[in-house]
Amino acid sequence: MKALTVENLRGGYAEVDILNGISLDLMPAEILVVAGTNGAGKSTLAKAVAGLLPRVAGKVSLDGTEITHQPAERRARSGLGYVPQVANVFPSLTILENLAVVEGVKDRATRIEAMLTTFPALAMRRKSRAGSLSGGERQQLAFARALMTEPPVVVLDEPTAALSPALVGESFERIARLAKDGTAVLLIEQRARQALAIAHRGVILDGGKVAM
């Protein structure tokens, strides 16, 4: 069974199509990299899969169940994790509060402790507001929020954007560990060479289509 399937996906904003018939699939515990130049449709694809694109045609299936017209919150409850490139934490809330407000968590206290163990930098600042965190710490918190529900599929939209070179390496190592632990990862990334080094497969978008 495929973890995620996208079939002839089209859509965009207002009357302008950004996606022009994208088809791809993601297997369980696989990392699939989606690369391409700016404007190729990478982030728009991530939003379409997550249920955040206002106008979509085609088909999106999660673990064999079609979710094309499901709202984002229902997709999250069905097992789809999503880490957007920006606005991925609540800056006015503390680290603990950011983790506590995630819906659909079976054992909240246990999962929070698991995330703080996985991300020790967050554990040391657990009572700090997210708005005071560095870019790398915010990215870790966004990761932790997405993993609170133990989703079988995670969509990461350019997780290394604006990170220092040292943190970029750590981020890719973290993504590789996700797949080793059984999570399927759809990785939207501009650093194609580094991303493909940890990936099982990759696709290149151009003009809202799969070019390679």
39-95 tens-digit pLDDT:
999 999 999 999 999 999 999 999 999 999 999 999 998 999 999 988 889 999 999
Q: Give the pLDDT band of residue 106 (cuts 50, 70, 90).
A: confident
Quote the CA–CA distance of 55 and 14 in Å, as a whole number. Answer: 8
Residue 110 in 3-state DSSP?
helix
Give the per-residue pLDDT at 157.
94
Tell me, what's the pLDDT at 153?
A: 98
Mean pLDDT of the region 141-155:
94
Model confidence over 120-131: pLDDT tens digits? 999 999 999 999
Q: DSSP letters along 35-66, please?
A: E-STTSSHHHHHHHHHT--SEEEEEEEETTEE
The pTM assigned to this predicted structure is 0.92
